[in-house]
Amino acid sequence: MTVYSIAQITIHDRARYQGYMARFLEVLDRSGGRLLVADDAPEVREGSFAYEKVIVMAFDSRAALERWAASDEYAALARERQAASEGVVVVVRGLPRAHP
């Protein structure tokens, strides 16, 4: 079942974050992950939104996401993101293809 990683972040060190982004897609692609959304200006339709960017990635399985997240290559890169931004990351399960 497809799983999604959804990040909501605010960037406080733009130069460092750009360094992270310069290598991020290559690492994600090698893991089989797919970047679906990277929006620097999400539109708030209801409620309040405390961050400035939304990122959504898809993985074919929870195991694939965990392998990517735990890989030495991404762990080193994640430290750069964490130093350049703050936010929240959640993992959600997709729906089965056939649902009522």
Residue 98 lies in a domain: no
pLDDT per residue, tens digit, the chain (100 aa), is 999 999 999 999 999 999 999 999 999 999 999 999 999 999 999 999 999 999 999 999 999 999 999 999 999 999 999 999 999 999 999 988 766 6
Rounded Cα gap, residues 34 and 2, in angstroms: 11
pLDDT score for 8: 97
pLDDT score for 27: 95
Q: Are 39 and 82 in contact (CB under 8 A)?
A: no
Residue 27 lies in a domain: yes
- Treating both helix axes as pointing N-terminal to C-terminal, what angle do 72-84 and 62-70 enclose, rounded to 10 degrees? 80
Alpha helices in 1-100 (DSSP H): 14-31, 62-70, 72-84
Q: Per the confidence metrics, is the pTM higher than 0.85?
A: yes
Rounded Cα gap, residues 57 and 4, in angstroms: 5
Overall number of domains in the chain: 1
pLDDT score for 49: 94
Question: What is the CATH classification number for the domain harbouring 11?
Answer: 3.30.70.100
pLDDT score for 97: 75
What domain range includes position 20? 3-93
Residue 22 lies in a domain: yes
Residue 99 lies in a domain: no
